[in-house]
Each structure stands twice: as structure tokens, then as C-alpha cells.
Amino acid sequence: MSCAFGQSLPTIAKIPDLPPDYLLRDWDKTAHEFDKLVFDRNRTGKFLPLIWEDKAKIVNDVNGFGLPTYVGDSRQSSETNIHEAITSMASVLNGILLGNDRSTHAAMLSAHFDRKNGIGLYLNQPGSTGGSFWYDLLPSLLFTQIYKHYPQITGYQEQFLSTVHKWAEITDQLGQNFDYTGYDFRKKKPVNQGWIEADVVAGLACLQYVGWKETADDDHLRIAEKCLDWMDLRKINPYYESLAPYGAYASAVYNAENNGTHQTGKFIEWVLAGDNPRKWGMIGEMWNGTPVHGLIGSVYPEYEYAFAMNTFQAIGIMTPIARYEDHFAKDLAKWVLHVASNARFFYPDSWPPSQQTSYSWAQKNDPLFSIPYEGIRKQGTLRRYPENDRMKTGMLRLGHSTNPDKDMFLTADAEGKIHYAGTIELPDTTSHSLIIVIRHRKIENDIRFLIKGREDLHGTFQNKLRDDQKIQFSGEGQIEIILEAQGLKPGEVIKVQDMVVESRLPNPPHVGGDATIHGWAQTDLGLYGGSNVGFLASLIEPTNIEAILAINPVITDILKPEAFPTRIFFNPHPRTQSIKWDVGKNSVRIYDAIANRILSENASGQQTFVIPAREAVMLVMTPANKSLTRTHGHLVCDGIVIDFNP
């Protein structure tokens, strides 16, 4: 089968075979403890219990449950009854992947299915109207995976059919243009809010392919093909946040099952390479001695930030690609190995208390440290926004400077002038940067900013097309930021996207998150990220050789395919290694799907396998008494594919 990048993935090829300072966290223990903690209604302590019952029935006549995005979230609690589907759904899926019965909580997720408004979709928050593709499509993808495990839950089949049908309609409406921010489900039209989330096409390709597999409706296959064709032709990497991995998976499954030639390698690299406009991808380096290879997040220079959610989710969705296009198996296994070692740095017990923001809560209330931080920042920075907005001239029309999620709109007075002032309390560090960002207008007028009392600290946007400015300075205490403009038209609006002081912390990297910086929560411990840990925990098991993992490429497969026990073993060491693995009590045939050869016709119990240096095997254990046949180009045993297009 053709592959745009040959037999390897360039980004993964650049990182070491053996993770530096390799250490394997007990991921099974971490994931099980997370599952226990978040669903324990009797847990006591500050901000506990985490779970609450949602009886509001805002969009569906079903009692649901809520979990906060962060521990101590000021926006989301039983009092506000605001909660996100992506957190609740991933938490349920986490338990399912671990083998726990989460059917009761799965049924309660229907509280997020928007029935009353006629939308017929799972949306991130009950009653939301849309506006960000990844927030709006990810719940449908998570629901689809949960549905494959629990199709018997009342209402689930109807909800699944509605989900794939509604998104099919939207996909057809979008035609060949996916360069939007999101979709307004009430007005039934795409929206553009100043940034592009075109990787929605990847999530739609996956959802529609699963819809075809589930319903045999060729219209869903047609739409999946349309999305994959668009991806093939796309020259600019569209990866934005969390949807691109689904497109790589959809491509691999489509190719394997339909003898397709879609560019799976290209789509995997979309996730890893970091060459998209947002600079989102895989970290491939050490951060001040801390190995973070393999983690997913921002690779934007000076703003590098690895995220727990994106890391766990990406390997969970993309590792199954190894079964469908086995020439990627070795590199995918190498990636999983790095994540298995380096994702430990998301957790409080991997850092000294002085290098994190929320250790005291975790130590007291989560002694097994099962809830990770939102992420890791390479630079170790804090961001603080102005407070006490004051307008000497002009008007602050919309937004305010202390909310970084909302742009600030400054309106000129009758003489075309603006004078804004806001104060910032500098943190106890020595190095700061004042950052001002003005978006979406040609800067023609004299827009000036300064720190009051510091004549050397000023800048201007006069006659400049660039829309961001940065001034570095030192100091402590309180400062006043002033933004002035003149020569505007009366009533003209200046849109300020960012006005912030970024302070560099000592001893980077810095583990924490955005929650305490922006005042969203009292900790940076993120349930929305930790809820995805089951992807990693279910994928891997240790072996008798350190740093050689048994990786299960079936367990997180969205399609939940019928398959024989399959494990990938990658040897990162410079010498041949012999691993021992128990293949079970019953006699099995052992087949290597990478080398396309039978290793044993009849084996049982503990077996020894020799793996050359820096190579991998993908072992499939089939019943020894069942013959192998070729069907439609695949190697099949008892009606089950064990090797696609060998």
C-alpha cells in the first residue's frame, strides 16, 4: 500500500529510540484511582466530592451528572450546574477502557444530547449553540466510542443515528470549504470568529465512516470519502486542537478495508510535525533536563506547552492505525513508549512542591496523585492581565481586560481619541514581558501603549501592519498599563485581543495550567485531561525487559472490531532482547503481522520472543486449530482479519 512518508514517520524518527531517564509510571493504578475518585459521591475534603447530579433537564428529560473541568473550578460546580461533556464523557470512557462497568453513568450522559431544541446532537454544554468545531464535534466522537461499548443503553441507538445524520447534513452544507471556526446549530450556518478549525474535516471523516459501518448507508461512506479526499489535497496542515488524530485513524481503516490509497502518513504527521498555523504538534526535545518527547501541545517558539488531554487522546485514537497499516507499527509503538515514560510529568508527584501550583491540595485529597495538571510549560511563565479597567477618554464597549477569553473593544470618543488604563500586580519574579495584541485591522493610526512612569517602556502601532508588540522589562510591585489612540474616526473601535504581562519563573519547565492564572479555578489540576488517562493505561503492559512494552492496538479502536489478541513489542535498545509473554492456556498460532510470517503453529503459556535492536513485532494469537485463508487480499482466520493487505 502506498505511503506518503515511506515506512517511517519523520517526526518520530527524530526522537531517541530509548526515552531519556526512562521511568514507567503505574498507569493502570493511576487510571483506576482517577475512576474511583471522580465517581465517589461520598469523598470528603476541600472541593470534594467532584461529581454532582444534574437534574435540570435543560435539553433532554434525563438526569445527568456533572464534573468540573478543574478541581476547585469557580465556574463549574453543583451550585452553578455548569459542566462539560468532554470531561464527563472521557471519564466514562476511561472507566470502560479499564474494564469497569460505567453503564449507569453512560446513560446519564444523555443529559448532554440536545433533544428539546431539535438539534439532535451531543454538545459540550447543555443549551450551547456552537461556535468551535472541536468543542462541538468531540462530544459526538466520544459518544460514538461509548456507544460501541454500550449499544444497549436506552436511547443510544437513536442518538447515534441522529448524530451521524446531523453531522452528515452539516458536512454536505460545508461543501468543499472547512475553513471556519465552528457551526451555529440554531442559525444552521458556519461561523468564523477569527481563527480556523479546519481539522473538523478529520473528525467528520471518522464519524461518517463509523456511521457507514454501523448502518450500511452508503451516504455516510460517500461523505467519509469526500472528507478524506479533501484531506489528501490539502496542502496546509489544518491541525487545531484535538480532531486531526481521528482523520489519520479514519484514513488507515478506510485504506485497509476498502483497498484505498489515502495518505495516512501525511495525516499522522499533521498531528506530530507542528507545521500548522497554530504550531500544534509533538514535543521532540528535553526541557531544561526534563524529557518531554512525545507529548502533544503547542510547539510555538517561547510558548511551548504540552497538554495532558491532547497527549492521552492522540495516542489512544492513533495507535490502532498499526493494525490497519502495519508499516507504521514500529514508529507508533516508539511514540507510545515515550508517552508512557514522559507523561508522568503531568502529575504532581513527579515534581518538587516548589515547581508546581497545586501540590498541597493533591497531597491531602488525592494522595495517589491520580489527577494531572493541565500541562507543562517549557518556559515556566505566569500571565497576569490588567485589573480595574478605567477609560479616561472613549468607552470600553465590550469585554474587559481581566478575561483573556474575551476580546476588549475600545471605542473612540467624538474627537477620535481613546485613553485606557489598567493595573497589574507583578509576581515575585525578575523578568517580565508586556504583550499587546490588536487583531484584524490595518494599523494606520497612532496607537500607543506604555507603562506609566517608565518612559523607556512604551511602544506604538503607528504605520505598522504587524498586530502584536512585546516589551521586556524588570521590576516588582504594581504597574499601570496605558493604551492611547488618536486620529481615529468618532466611534471607531479598536479590538484588543491581548493585553498581558508574561513573567518568567525560575527553574523551568513549570507545571500547572491556565486555571489559576485566569481565575477560573483554585487549582490547575485538570479533570478534562486526566479523564483521558484510560487511553494510555489500557494500551500498555510492562514486560520482563525494561522499556519494552506490550502495546494493545485493539483496545482503544473506535470501531471496537472483532479481533484476536494482538500486541506490539518495540525494542528501543541497541542490542537484541528476548521478551517473555504469556499467550494463554489454549493452543494458539503466533503470527507476526509486521514481518508477515508465522512464528509458531502451536504454542501456549509463557513464550520467549527475540526482538532485534530497534525493531518491532506485532504478534497476533489465533486458535491453533483454525486455518488461515486469504479473503479480499487480507489474511483471515475464522472470519476475522489478522493481517490487512500483507
Q: Output the nine-digit C-alpha cell for 437.
A: 495584541
Average pLDDT, the chain: 92
**In terms of domains, do 195 and 288 share one?**
yes
| pLDDT tens-digit series, residues 91-129 | 999 999 999 999 999 999 999 999 998 899 999 987 777
- Separation in Å, CA 230 to CA 168, 275, 283, 453: 15, 18, 27, 55
Regarding whether 436 and 395 lie in a shared domain, the answer is yes
Q: Give yes or no: residues 339 and 428 share one domain.
A: no
DSSP percent split of the chain into helix, strand, coil, nearest 5: 30, 25, 45
Burial class (CB in 10 A: 0-12, 13-18, 19+), 364: exposed
Cell numbers that stand for 577 in this block: 532482547
Give the residue-averaged pLDDT of 381-394: 86
pLDDT for the residue numbered 404: 56
Q: Give the Cα separation of 239 and 280 in Å (integer).
A: 7
| Cα distances (angstroms) measured from residue 206 to each of 94, 167, 177, 220 | 20, 11, 18, 10
Does residue 552 lie within any of the structural domains? no
165 and 136 in one domain? Answer: yes
Residues 90 and 198 in one domain: yes
Tell me if 160 is assigned to some domain.
yes
Where do the DSSP E strands lie in 353-407?
375-377, 381-384, 387-393, 395-398
Percent of the chain with pLDDT over 70: 96
20-24, 393-397, 443-447: lowest mean pLDDT where? 443-447
Q: What is the pLDDT of residues 577-596, one digit of tens each?
A: 999 999 999 999 999 999 99
Q: What confidence score (pLDDT) does residue 280 get?
A: 96
Q: How far apart are CA 541 and CA 302, in angstroms?
A: 35
Q: Which among 582, 589, 214, 530 is positioned nearest to 372, based on CA atoms?
A: 530
Asked if residue 67 is part of any domain, the answer here is yes
**Separation CA 436–CA 501 (nearest Å):** 9
- Is there a single domain that holds both residue 314 and residue 399? no
Looking at the fold, whether 167 and 295 belong to one and the same domain comes out as: yes
Strand pairing category for 510-512 and 478-486? unpaired
Between residues 463 and 148, the one the model is more confident about: 148
Based on the fold, state whether residues 282 and 216 are members of the same structural domain. yes
User: 326 burial class (0-12, 13-18, 19+ CB within 10 angstroms)?
Assistant: buried
Q: Determine, yes or no, domain membership for 150.
A: yes
Check which CATH number belongs to the domain holding 626 and give it: 2.60.40.1180
Residue 481 half-sphere exposure toward CB, CA atoms < 13 A: 25
CATH number for the domain spanning 417: value is 2.60.120.260
When pLDDT is cut at 50, 70 and 90, the band that residue 518 belongs to is confident
The total domain count for the chain is: 3
Q: Could you list the residue range(s) of the whole structural domain that residue 155 is in?
A: 10-379+521-535
Q: DSSP string of 490-537? A: TT-EEEEEEEEEEEEPSSS-EEE-SHHHHTSBS--BBHHHHTTHHHHH
Rounded (10°) angle between helices 244-258 and 308-318: 0
What is the layout of strands, in order, in the sheet containing 510-512? 280-282, 296-298, 305-307, 375-377, 510-512
Q: Are residues 308 and 357 in the same domain?
A: yes
In this prediction, residue 5 has a pLDDT band, given cuts at 50, 70 and 90, of very low
Q: What's the pLDDT score for residue 384? A: 83
Q: Considering the domain boundaries, does residue 545 fall inside one?
A: no
pLDDT at 462: 56
The three three-digit cell numbers of residue 626, written as one number? 483454525
- Residue in this structure with the C-alpha cell 441522529, named with its chain if needed: 162
pLDDT tens-place string over residues 299-322 = 998 789 999 999 999 999 999 999
Do residues 187 and 307 both lie within one domain? yes
455 and 364 in a common domain: no
Name 538's Cβ contacts closer than 8 Å, sequence gap at least 6: 31, 97, 98, 552, 555, 556
Q: Name which of 68, 69, 152 is nearest 107 in CA terms.
A: 152
Residue with cell 497499516: 325
pLDDT at 405: 56
The three three-digit cell numbers of residue 387, written as one number = 485589573
Residue 168 pLDDT grade (very low, low, confident, very high; cuts 50, 70, 90): very high
Look at residue 3 and tell me if it is in a domain.
no
The one-letter code for the residue type at 187 is K
Q: Residue 334: give its domain's CATH number.
A: 1.50.10
For range 77-85, the mean pLDDT: 95
- d(CA 351, CA 634) in angstroms, rounded, equals 48
Q: What is the pTM for the complete model shown?
A: 0.88
In a domain, 607, yes or no: yes
Cα(398)–Cα(406) distance, rounded to whole angstroms?
9
Q: Classify residue 153: in a domain, yes or no.
A: yes
162 and 243 both lie in a single domain: yes
